[in-house]
Amino acid sequence: MLGVTNPWTYVLGTAAIVLLPGPNSLYVLSVAVRRGVRDGYRGAAGVWLGDAVLMTLSAGGVASLLHTYPWLFVLVKYAGAGYLAYIGVRLVVDTVRRLRAPASAPRPEPPADRPFRRALTISLLNPKAILFFVSFFIQFVDPDYPYPAVSFLLLGIVAEVLSAVYLTVLIFAGRRLAEQFRARRGLAAGLSTTVGGLFLAFSVKLATASLS
């Protein structure tokens, strides 16, 4: 079908990969909990754009480039791990500051566009996403099909639609969680600390990812 081989296998495999907990989905959930639906979608938009960029690079043959120059993958891998660690530390530090501040003291919010920029950076520096698009993604393109761009576009649309559905569920789940945590300062702080710790764990895991 339009140069896509085993389409249902691709759909099921992509759905399984999208549902796996990762830094992209965790960040969108944390933004929705802390800042609401609108900023949750700003973060999701950053993820979608980052995935679109990675899919375009995959269609352009970046896989062979990474195999030819493995130091490029190592560079992206450690940059991504470092950025995830930075976000994790920031979440923990912000939580500690919030707990030390008086309950009535207003806390300034970061700029409204920050969720988009951070989610985009996380997506582009996420070795999990890179490995998916340069290995699993391209296996479903028929090399004999005369219009491979159409095949890549179809695969990309499927991946983005599944991601949109999943992140939308997380965003509205985050809003419900925020309603529960609004009156429970300690519980909310515990959640932020846990998310920060998970980002630190992701940074360690991603730092050990391999291209093979």
Report which of 156, 167, 158, 127 is spatially closest to residue 44, judged by C-alpha positions. Answer: 167
Segments in the chain below pLDDT 70: 1, 61-67, 69, 72-73, 76, 80, 94-113, 127-128, 131, 134-135, 178-192, 195, 202, 206-212
Q: How far apart are CA 205 and CA 78, in angstroms?
A: 11
- Which pair of structure tokens corresponds to residue 129? 């996403």
Measured CA distances, 22 to 25, 121, 126, 203 (Å): 6, 14, 9, 11
Judge contact between 35 and 115, C-beta under 8 A.
yes
Residue boundaries of the structural domains of the chain: 7-103+116-207
pTM of the full structure: 0.73
Q: How far apart are CA 44 and CA 38, in angstroms?
A: 10
Spell out a b/e string for 93-129, using b for 16 or more CB atoms within 10 Å of the CB, else e.
ebbeeeeeeeeeeeeeeeeeebbbebbbbbbbbbbbb
pLDDT in tens, 65-113: 666 767 766 776 777 677 778 777 877 776 666 666 555 544 544 444 5
Q: How far apart are CA 15 and CA 10, in angstroms?
A: 8
